[in-house]
Structure 1
Amino acid sequence: MTKPLLLTSTLLAGVAMTPVHAEMNFNRIASFPVTANFDGAAPDETSAEIIDVTEDGMTLVYTDSPAGVIGVVDITNPAAPAPRGTLAVEGEPTAVSIIGNTAFVGVNTSESYTAPSGFVKAVDLADMSITATCDLGGQPDSTARAKDGSFIAIAIENERDEDLGDGRVPQIPAGDLVMIDVADGTLDCDSLRRASLIGLAEVAGEDPEPEFVDINGLGEVVVTLQENNHIAVVSKDGRILSHFSAGAVDLEGIDTKDDRAALTFDQSQPGRLREPDGVQWIDDSYFAIANEGDMDGGSRGMTVFHKDGTLVWESGVTLEHAIVQIGHYPDKRSDSKGVEPEGMEFGTFDGTPHIFVMAERASVVAVYDVTDPTAPVFKQLLPSGISPEGAVAIPERGLLATANEFDGFEDGAARAHVMLYQYADGPASYPHLTSEGMDKLTGWGALSGMVADADGMIYAVSDSFYGYQPRIFKIDPSRHPARIIEAIDVTRNGTPAQKIDMEGIALDGEGGFWIASEGRTDRVIPHALYHLGPDGQIKDEIGLPPELLSVETRFGFEGITKVGDTLWMPVQREWKDDPKDHVKLVAYNLETEEWSAVLYPKAAPEKGWVGLSDMTAYGGHVYIVERDNQHGPEAVTKRMYSVPLSQMTPAPLGSELPVVTKTLVRDLIPDLTSTGGYVLDKVEGLAIMADGTAWVSTDNDGVDDHSGETMFFSIGPIGK
């Protein structure tokens, strides 16, 4: 038995993560909400976990574990996927593989961890009938189909109880590997054969817990044993051909602190076990694994092995670092497994073999060119729905589809989606914004208010999600993607400023900034204005007057702009004294130190609420972002309005406030769907350049119950 393999990530200087600028790229073209398959009667929780495609490439089938169904999607027109409904499978569907027009579905029916059970069902997709059911004698976790369609392989995990004995293995019964022949388009249950995996691993060898399987052109099955940190290659008749430890990696330059308040990549994890999840053959000799981790490990990257156990390539921290740069790093998972590479897929597009790695917690798909399996080349990061789990390549149509399992019904987040990508000639449309090229690895996220300067730079603030690391990001929008070129720490007396929630930024005309902070009494964050020097040091703090504090709520200032000697701040939602569907635009005169306001008529919500997000002055108007808090097809109000400065004549607080007139400038929903994604809820940033070009950004909530996607785009010039 080989000892765990150690590979220090800092020695991987030759593994470049800078995207290769090729003519061909994958770009997302459509998003399909899983709820669409339920004819308007979707359950409270749905999912899209594992996905496959029919032989003709026209129909997707995905597993929906919470709903106990498989879902079917017509992708005859991949840019407009259409629902084909669902089929109940009398249990929890865990995996699906398709041969021809028959779906083979693994179904978990376990009563308990100690009494696992399950079936595999053959479903004729022509009429959605179940043509065969084979008892597996355990809990199926994943399936794979032979390339010639002659058999399927099923990993029987018999998973551990994470609440029992500190969640450690061994926990009997052990798992194993099952193979079943396919004949005449259905299952031959009499051909079921088992391959025992007991006694192979150094970690709890008596309790193998198989996770993912894949089959190469020779009919050889590779299976990952995640908690056992082991890999086995098995012949189609059940013989163990080779087996070996997945090894370990020394990780340097990562964030290991779950403080959810700062992005600091200066920690390490020596000897981190890989504990692989997803696995895919690249050819008949080499395969790649995704090192998610589960019990003790998770090395945050991808590894390539020869089937004899020789390690040939390791990504180390480079994949996670690339994800950090595009704002998708999930800081809340820092003390666990970081971005958690989990699912994988392989496909050859226009003669180039690709491996796709799904980072579950970062909600991105990493694309690698594996023309040389011993030296994969990073190509792209694709935006996904929340928690991509499964993917299927459809090279003959130039398509990739992903299944995204997280459903945000209870949390007010986006619902589960299937997403489609097209491989075609042209530039990559994502990311919109990156910190690549900075001298120091710089993470970012939760962008809120923005402002532009006379030199064509944009400054954006991050909100209170990063409470111990408040920052202003200087952005060069002239490049594609736009580049963060400086991160300015906001400090008080030389240390990171605490108890602020930056939601708006304006230039003070002297090289410094004005910041609007949205207060929250439950977090002891005051509603306030802050004057900062060019270095981010707080010079002055201005609290709200009693007339405002007596009527405030937690939904405070969501932007700031400077007009002459006056600062203007839009209040996000109604305060206690506001008429329904009206909010204050609050004015503070820097010379007289007087407070006043006007009223702004916002849209009545069709669902949830509607509020203001940012405001900036340009020419003879102020421009205001108005949005609801809805995602996807539920979203209605994502708009920009203008108000003439001639109407911005405020009245004293406590008096009758004048109501301004707004004019629609742009409906932003077409912009928010222009890259094939669902409508993101938080349109929070607006900056207008000296020539009138307007830029808009979205807040990704620090990648917490969010896909992490940040849209940063120009809507062109606006009128003065």
Structure 2
Amino acid sequence: MQFLAYRLSALALAIAAAGAHADTFNRVASFPVSHNLTAENPLQETSAEIITATADGQILAYSDSPRGGLGFIDIRQPDQPKPAGFVSLSGEPTSVSALGNQVVAGVNTSASYVEPSGFLVLVSPQSQEVLSRCDLGGQPDSVAVSKDQRFVAVAIENERDEDLNDGQIPQLPAGSLIIVPVKQGMLDCAGLKRVDLTGLSTIAPTDPEPEFVDFNGLGEVVVTLQENNHLVIVDAVSGTVINHFSAGSVDLEKIDTRKDGALIFTESQQGVAREPDAVRWLDDDRFVIANEGDYQGGARGFSIFHKDGTLQFESGAAFEHEVIRAGHYPDKRSGKKGAEPEGLEVARFGDQTYIFVLSERGSVIGVYRDTGAAPEFMQLLPSGIAPESAVAIPERGLLISANEKDLIEDGGPRAHVMLFSLTQGEAQYPQLVSDNDTADTPIGWGALSGLTADPKTPGILYAVNDSYYKMQPRIFRIDANQHPARITATTDITRDGKVAKKLDLEGIAADGKGGFWLASEGNAKKDVPHALHHVNADGEITRTIALPESLLQHQTRFGAEGIALAGDTLWVAIQRPWGDDPEHHTKLLAYNLTSEAWSAVHYPLEQTTEGWVGLSELELHDDHLYVIERDNRIGEQASIKRLYKVALSALEPKPLGETLPVVSKTLVRDLIPDLQSLHGYVTDKVEGFAMDAQGNGFLVTDNDGVDDSSGETLWLKLGQL
């Protein structure tokens, strides 16, 4: 195959340079916040949005907007987090921050956008009682507590209605900053100060819309005015504005701005407003901002400012490039905000200060070391779906992320809190990364759906993506002879010299001559045919084999999911039963390339009480066909993720239309322990399996293109089977 050579990615270089001696963060536990639900209503929607930890580092508190209160998690044993209760607050909690071993939360009770209201509340996680409450006279967003525990700062956003006037600002009433003193551990509502932030920005001076607040050690508060693209420094004691300045703009290169089913990072944007969301002080003089954008900007990265207004560092597209290389770029969510950095945490572990940058749409956390100048990228952490905030507990070597997305209504993953520990050793994730291409842009990838091995070279494998990237069907060359494995090159699938369309590639098999056989799953509703395709070394389709009409009259959407070449016969795994199959049986189709005759056997599927069970891969090794059989369940509901084998000598296919023999299968491996190895939730889509030239098994999962998914791709070397 004529693959282009690509240089080693910056991510792979960083990990290789770090080596086993470096300190790295690795996930130790995932806690679905649905564990805090009552037995009477286990399917209620829940969320973990903003998270904090009590001063003793034993209890986590998170804001849960759908349930209207605060949830608590016992992390005395970080690798075994336990539910610790819930407090209803009769409103929408927007933020929570620790005040010693108590927590303060902002609660939104607004009747409408033009009638904003809310309150600040002090809660005891231990007794789960409300200790005090202050009316705020507006809709609170972010809440922060000063280092000396003397003040609570609240950003009163009075957010805009995005459906009014196309979301244009100003939209009154104006927001402000509120400073609430703390006396003898209680909120001093009578001492509340309201800091006027109008007249500072030139974008909408009458409507500041403050978003996020944080204290430095001097009792100074930095406030982001996101839609106004402005930053304000306030003295908490006096309530006066010390300084304010524009967050400025960024010129972006090597980005993707189109939601088009293809990952191409050759575009640019000029003069993009940063529009920061989260902000954290690095020390008493410098702070870092996450440039999410929410109005007209979104610079896709993070920046460091001195409080005098001097820009000291700009990441540009560099953070997003790390997200891309790890397979977490959200094409359907890209638009102008890309991977959408939104949340931040800053903490000092030992003698190192770390910056944690949360990509909401990419569902990852970038870990950087503060150098006083340009931060050093260290690693990327998998964080569940839509990380909104994080809290560090340096004394215990812990980082915790809160992930707000709950997909219970769609049968998807629940919202999770994930715990990471700083230890010596190599980073466990990512397990697969990509190099840069000849244009020096990262190779974008995701939704890997089929796997095959190079017939001659150990550790070299090839994968295909599915129809999620409908405008970019590709074969990916993977070098698995190192950790993480690397995507070193790609080949586009073409027809008549153009991008091949109407494909849903789910299986791939090397033909032994430099080309490949591909299985495309059909979908009659989208006019995608069930078919097998042969491509040459350049990715050009040279032959197409349609499934016979006698079979297609019984078709469903769940078609070919794996393909294997045994001599002159192509074997094809059909995912689920079609109309002519007995219950709990699907077909292994056989197509003879010489006689062009179709035949088949029936494969018996395991049974489950919920969801469905089907096949997702087919691999030939020695004298057996290996089959991945799985259910479509996720997380704690997953029960069937298995690797079976069927002896070739036992396969005696019959012509279609006749009574098909039922094959006998042998369990090779229960894959659920492998899918739990990184302490995340178990994914439903175990999609690819192959055995290389030395007989080592490799497994890859499909990350659904980071769409309603955590975006994690597990690349697991199973060894000799």
TM over 0.5: yes
Verify: 1:647 aligned to 2:650, yes or no: yes
Indicate the SS of the match to 2:192: strand
Aligned-pair CA distance for 1:663: 1.4
Indicate the SS of the match to 2:705: helix
The aligned counterpart of 1:515 is 518
Aligned-pair CA distance for 1:386: 0.5
The aligned counterpart of 1:407 is 406
The aligned counterpart of 1:394 is 393
The aligned counterpart of 1:707 is 710
**1: CA distance, partners of 2:43 / 2:515:** 51
Verify: 1:56 aligned to 2:56, yes or no: yes
Aligned-pair CA distance for 1:436: 2.7
The aligned counterpart of 1:232 is 232
Aligned-pair CA distance for 1:437: 4.8
Q: 2:457 pairs with 455, 458, 482, which one?
A: 455
> Given residue 146 of structure 1, which amino acid in structure 2 is its aligned partner?
S
**2: CA distance, partners of 1:660 / 1:91:** 58
Map 1:103-122 onto structure 2 (within 5 A): 103-122=103-122
Maintained 8 Å contact 1:62/1:71? yes
Aligned-pair CA distance for 1:184: 2.5
**2: CA distance, partners of 1:113 / 1:131:** 29
The aligned counterpart of 1:210 is 210
Unpaired segments ≥5 residues, structure 2? 1-8
Indicate the SS of the match to 1:149: coil
**2: CA distance, partners of 1:581 / 1:95:** 49
The aligned counterpart of 2:5 is none
The aligned counterpart of 1:146 is 146
Aligned-pair CA distance for 1:415: 1.1
1:630-685 deviation line (CA, Å, top 9, x unaligned)? 11111111111111112211011011111111111111111111111110111000
**1: CA distance, partners of 2:578 / 2:404:** 38
1:191-225 deviation line (CA, Å, top 9, x unaligned)? 11111100000110110001111000001000100
The aligned counterpart of 1:284 is 284
> Given residue 216 of structure 1, which amino acid in structure 2 is its aligned partner?
N
Maintained 8 Å contact 1:275/1:294? yes
The aligned counterpart of 1:564 is 567
Map 1:352-391 onto structure 2 (within 5 A): 352-372=352-372, 374-391=373-390
Aligned-pair CA distance for 1:413: 2.2
Verify: 1:537 aligned to 2:540, yes or no: yes
**2: CA distance, partners of 1:292 / 1:606:** 43
> Given residue 249 of structure 2, which amino acid in structure 1 is its aligned partner?
A
1:447-491 deviation line (CA, Å, top 9, x unaligned)? 001000121210000000111110000000011100011100000
**Does 602-611 or 122-131 show the bigger shift?**
602-611
Map 1:571-582 onto structure 2 (within 5 A): 571-582=574-585
**2: CA distance, partners of 1:606 / 1:223:** 52
The aligned counterpart of 1:443 is 444
Indicate the SS of the match to 1:182: strand
Aligned-pair CA distance for 1:322: 1.1
Map 1:229-378 onto structure 2 (within 5 A): 229-236=229-236, 237-259=238-260, 261-372=261-372, 374-378=373-377
The aligned counterpart of 1:638 is 641
> Given residue 677 of structure 1, which amino acid in structure 2 is its aligned partner?
G
1:275-325 deviation line (CA, Å, top 9, x unaligned)? 000100000000000000001000000000000100010000111111111
1:492-524 deviation line (CA, Å, top 9, x unaligned)? 011110001100000112111000000001111
**1: CA distance, partners of 2:376 / 2:683:** 31
Verify: 1:589 aligned to 2:592, yes or no: yes
Indicate the SS of the match to 2:562: coil
Indicate the SS of the match to 1:445: coil
> Given residue 558 of structure 1, which amino acid in structure 2 is its aligned partner?
E
1:360-395 deviation line (CA, Å, top 9, x unaligned)? 0000001110131x3211111100110000100000
The aligned counterpart of 1:431 is 430
Aligned-pair CA distance for 1:43: 4.3
Maintained 8 Å contact 1:332/1:704? yes
The aligned counterpart of 1:506 is 509
Indicate the SS of the match to 2:555: coil
1:577-622 deviation line (CA, Å, top 9, x unaligned)? 1111111011101111110111111111232111110010112211
Aligned-pair CA distance for 1:82: 0.5
Verify: 1:672 aligned to 2:669, yes or no: no
**1: CA distance, partners of 2:518 / 2:435:** 26
Aligned-pair CA distance for 1:17: 8.9
> Given residue 57 of structure 1, which amino acid in structure 2 is its aligned partner?
G
Indicate the SS of the match to 1:560: strand
**Does 94-103 or 155-164 show the bigger shift?**
94-103
1:245-304 deviation line (CA, Å, top 9, x unaligned)? 000001111111111x11111111100000000100000000000000001000000000
The aligned counterpart of 2:18 is 21
The aligned counterpart of 1:474 is 477
Maintained 8 Å contact 2:59/2:125? no
> Given residue 29 of structure 1, which amino acid in structure 2 is its aligned partner?
V
Maintained 8 Å contact 2:61/2:125? no
Maintained 8 Å contact 1:17/1:378? no
The aligned counterpart of 1:30 is 29
Maintained 8 Å contact 1:15/1:318? no
> Given residue 450 of structure 2, which amino acid in structure 1 is its aligned partner?
G
**1: CA distance, partners of 2:700 / 2:411:** 20
Maintained 8 Å contact 1:15/1:315? no
Indicate the SS of the match to 2:189: strand
**2: CA distance, partners of 1:43 / 1:119:** 29
> Given residue 148 of structure 2, which amino acid in structure 1 is its aligned partner?
D
Unpaired segments ≥5 residues, structure 1? 1-12
Aligned-pair CA distance for 1:690: 2.1
> Given residue 457 of structure 2, which amino acid in structure 1 is its aligned partner?
D
Aligned-pair CA distance for 1:143: 0.5
The aligned counterpart of 1:623 is 626
Verify: 1:71 aligned to 2:71, yes or no: yes
The aligned counterpart of 1:9 is none
Aligned-pair CA distance for 1:412: 2.7
1:51-71 deviation line (CA, Å, top 9, x unaligned)? 000111111000110111211
Indicate the SS of the match to 2:270: strand
> Given residue 554 of structure 1, which amino acid in structure 2 is its aligned partner?
R
Instruction: Report the identity percentage.
Output: 56
The TM-score, its normalising length taken from structure 1, stands at: 0.96
Aligned-pair CA distance for 1:127: 0.7
**2: CA distance, partners of 1:536 / 1:113:** 54
> Given residue 488 of structure 1, which amino acid in structure 2 is its aligned partner?
T
Indicate the SS of the match to 2:550: helix
The aligned counterpart of 1:693 is 696
**Does 524-533 or 408-417 show the bigger shift?**
408-417
Maintained 8 Å contact 2:70/2:86? yes
**1: CA distance, partners of 2:12 / 2:658:** 63
The aligned counterpart of 1:169 is 169
Q: Cα RMSD between the aligned structures?
A: 1.4
> Given residue 152 of structure 1, which amino acid in structure 2 is its aligned partner?
V
The TM-score, its normalising length taken from structure 2, stands at: 0.96
**1: CA distance, partners of 2:125 / 2:153:** 20
**2: CA distance, partners of 1:42 / 1:232:** 43
1:17-66 deviation line (CA, Å, top 9, x unaligned)? 94561610011111000111113423432110000001111110001101
**2: CA distance, partners of 1:657 / 1:69:** 58
The aligned counterpart of 2:6 is none
**1: CA distance, partners of 2:592 / 2:290:** 57
Maintained 8 Å contact 2:109/2:118? yes
Indicate the SS of the match to 1:479: coil
Aligned-pair CA distance for 1:333: 1.9
**Does 354-363 or 39-48 show the bigger shift?**
39-48
**1: CA distance, partners of 2:636 / 2:87:** 24
**2: CA distance, partners of 1:424 / 1:350:** 12
Aligned-pair CA distance for 1:335: 1.7
Maintained 8 Å contact 2:339/2:360? yes
Verify: 1:683 aligned to 2:680, yes or no: no
1:126-155 deviation line (CA, Å, top 9, x unaligned)? 210101010010001011111111111110
The aligned counterpart of 1:85 is 85
**Does 461-470 or 178-187 show the bigger shift?**
178-187
1:97-121 deviation line (CA, Å, top 9, x unaligned)? 1112211011000000000000111
Aligned-pair CA distance for 1:181: 1.4
Maintained 8 Å contact 2:222/2:231? yes
